Amino acid sequence: MKQNRVKGWHGLAVIALLFCTSCLGPNHATGHLFKWNNEIDGKWGNEIAFIFLLPVYAIFGVGDVIIFNSIQWWSGNNPISRPETDVQVQI
């Protein structure tokens, strides 16, 4: 019985290795959520939105790490565009 459990864990480890590509990507989905949260007026509004959206941040973070960054690593392009930020250009 114990030997069957060990074989099952080996199979899960192999599957996990196929999906965990060790890619530290740009996390565009989480970046979009951070950008939206920063657009809320006032520091208290930002904080309240952040606290209530903690589960959403967790879902976006896991989706970025497991799904979108893996897609980018395998295909070379990320299906979620980079969040637009205000960049000042010095002339």
Contact 63, 29 (CB under 8 A): yes
DSSP string, 25-68: ---HHHHHHHHHHHTSSSHHHHHHHHHHTHHHHHHHHHIIIIII
Check residue 51 and give its pLDDT.
92
Does residue 15 lie within any of the structural domains?
no
Does residue 16 lie within any of the structural domains?
no
Does residue 52 lie within any of the structural domains?
yes
Read off the pLDDT of residues 11-59 as tens digits, 9 standing for 90 and up. 777 776 666 655 567 888 888 888 888 888 888 988 898 899 999 999 9
The tally of domains found in the chain comes to: 1
Does residue 19 lie within any of the structural domains?
no
Which pTM does this prediction carry? 0.59
Does residue 7 lie within any of the structural domains?
no
Going by C-alpha positions, the residue among 89, 61, 69 that lies closest to residue 25 is 69
Does residue 13 lie within any of the structural domains?
no
Check residue 22 and give its pLDDT.
56
Check residue 52 and give its pLDDT.
93
Q: What b/e string do you get for 34-52 counting C-beta neighbours within 10 Å, with b at 16 or more? A: eeebeeeeeeeeeeebbee
**Residue 47 structural domain:** 26-91
Does residue 18 lie within any of the structural domains?
no
CA atoms of 11 and 40, how far apart (whole Å): 46
Does residue 17 lie within any of the structural domains?
no
